[in-house]
Amino acid sequence: MLPKPFPMAPRSPMGVIALSAVILAGLISSLSASEGEQEPVRFECVCEQGYCKTETCRGVQCFVSVDSRIPGQIRKGCHPYQDLPCEYSWPHLRIVCCKGNLCNRNLTLQEEKDPPHPSNNVSDVTMMIVPIVVVVGVLVILLLLIYQKYCRSQIVPIFRKSKMQTSAEMLRVPELGDNTLTDLFDHSCTSGSGSGLPFLVQRTVARQITLVECVGKGRYGEVWRGVWQGENVAVKIFSSRDEQSWFRETEIYNTMLLRHDNILGFIASDMTSRNSSTQLWLITRYHENGSLYDYLQCNTVDTEGCLRLALSIISGLVHLHAEIIGTPGKAAIAHRDLKSRNILIKRNKQCCIADLGLAVIHSQSNDFLDVGNNPKVGTKRYMAPEVLDETIRTNSFESYKATDIWAFGLVLWEIARRTLINGITEEYMPPFYDVVPTDPSFEDMRKVVCTDQYRPSVPNRWLSDPILFSLAKLMKESWYQNPTARLTALRIKKTLSSLANSDNLLHKLKTDS
């Protein structure tokens, strides 16, 4: 069954062609998905060579991999999702998958000194590709003709609109990175591929990106600004030792219904070969203003801007924490590493939450809690007391949500310090800057937060402003030692929304007077 026609036409022939390709990819993926089960079967797999902490793991497929650059080292483990083909290879790297409990125990493969020569099977590949290309081309042309016919019958000239409609309402100037990408996101049937582009399109996009400049580095690897079809995208390149974070973040972003204005827009995830080495790429929207941490270093905000930042962050967190029941549905997600460096500033001065590599997934219907295989536990400066003293209930999803609320309170404190009231503001400082070193240890933070029960100080000037006074109260209710006493993300969002409405009303009264 074809998807419903879209109410708006793409702005260019390239948009139409891209749209047709996305629809076709969605149809193909939907047909293939309909033949299988909705919930993939997970198998127990042998896990070796440091892929995870235990001797076994559970996944949709078991695998065995060998890297010719490391003689004799054969890795075994499990794939968390089922979209990968059963056998594939890159230069220096071969991977073979299987399905079945412990099926990779005796599964072996030989090391390859050089990648297979492409000319060996040219004729076979050609015989397979040509019919597919012909069929795909015919379907694309057919979809294009149908869509153009519909557009001619539906599009009303803009000049027929009411004279009362202003030019601001009639015209929209797209931001950089907001035309082709938006068309592909908003006009595609996602075919089960989650918040990004359909899986078949992802594999194409990732190979068309040109890396331009490195814009950030961290413990995971590097972030580059790339260009795809003339538009900026962010490419997060994971180091080989952080493969688990790449796998986890890819899995989280492929969660159905994850897309939200205040969560970083995911485009694609791919393994690619650059400079004779395998790289793990995560491709997302690009935001030139950088992280909230960078932004607050150089900028102050007024109360309206402060509320805009805070409300956009908590809105994204509410969407992460919420489980959506239905078909398709969305599992509840806890971030586990919320901090100002993992929050990006969009061009409209709202925030979006990024870096989901440590996230925890929870499904209420079957009470399944998926914490992943990543051994990292977050950033020490933003860790909640129960994480620092190791009393957190690791089998309770509510416990992980409470750690996000603790971290949000610290981020809110960072924003409030840079809020300008009566011409006064504080310089940017990270939480607990006055009681721990620049790079605090686990023991440093545990002593301050758990033993001394110290909390970031609230300047006296905040108490004279109704907005900052209310924000200070929210912070304190997010920093309770007992995690069950802390506010929920939804409660915080409702409070901030009320503050934003009252601030707008007060600003309007001042303007009118």
* Residue-wise DSSP of 215-273: EEE-SSEEEEEEEETTEEEEEEEE-GGGHHHHHHHHHHHTSTT---TTBPPEEEEEEEE
Select from 384, 416, 406 the least CA-distant residue to 496.
416
Handedness of CA 188, 193, 197, 200 (dihedral sign): negative
Q: Is 132 exposed, middle or buried (0-12, 13-18, 19+ CB in 10 A)?
A: exposed
Alpha-carbon span 450 to 121, nearest angstrom: 64
Q: Each residue of 472-483: pLDDT tens digit?
A: 999 999 999 999
E strands along 38-90, which residues? 43-46, 56-59, 61-67, 74-79, 87-90
Q: Which domains does the chain have, with CATH numbers?
A: 43-113 (2.10.60.10), 189-286 (3.30.200.20), 292-512 (1.10.510.10)
pLDDT score at 439:
93
Q: Which residues of the chain have pLDDT under 50?
A: 1-11, 16, 30-37, 111-119, 154-179, 186-193, 513
Strand partners, 48: 76
Closest alpha carbon to 409 in 318, 310, 300, 262: 310
Query: 55-64: per-residue pLDDT in tens?
Result: 888 888 888 8
Residue type, 440: P
What is the predicted pLDDT for the residue at 145? 82
- Give which of 307, 302, 296, 299 is closest to 471, Cα–Cα: 307
pTM: 0.63
DSSP 341: G
Task: Please state, as a whole number, how many other Cβ atoms lie within 10 Å of the Cβ of residue 418.
Answer: 21
User: Which is nearest to 253 in space by CA: 369, 116, 357, 342?
Assistant: 357
Radius of gyration for the alpha carbons in the chain, expressed in angstroms and rounded: 25
Residue 194: name the closest of 139, 232, 270, 250 by CA: 250
C-alpha to C-alpha distance for 459 and 416, rounded to whole angstroms: 10
DSSP class of residue 419 equals B
337 is known as an active-site residue:
yes
CA separation for the pair 418, 310 (Å, rounded): 12
Query: What tokens were used for 488?
Result: 């929920």
Supply the DSSP symbol for 424.
B
Query: Given this model, what pLDDT does residue 163 score?
Result: 33
Q: pLDDT value at position 299?
A: 96
Helix (H, G, I), strand (E, B) or coil at 334: strand
- Residue 296 and residue 415 in contact, taking contact as beta carbons nearer than 8 Å: yes
Token couple for 2: 């074809």
Q: Give the pLDDT confidence score for residue 314 in this predicted structure.
A: 97
Closest CA to 200 of 209, 189, 215: 189
Q: Which of 242, 270, 337, 404 is catalytic?
A: 337
**Pair 438, 431: CB distance under 8 Å:** no
* AA identity, residue 258: L
Cβ contact 313:343 at 8 Å: yes
Q: Which two tokens stand for residue 151?
A: 């557009």
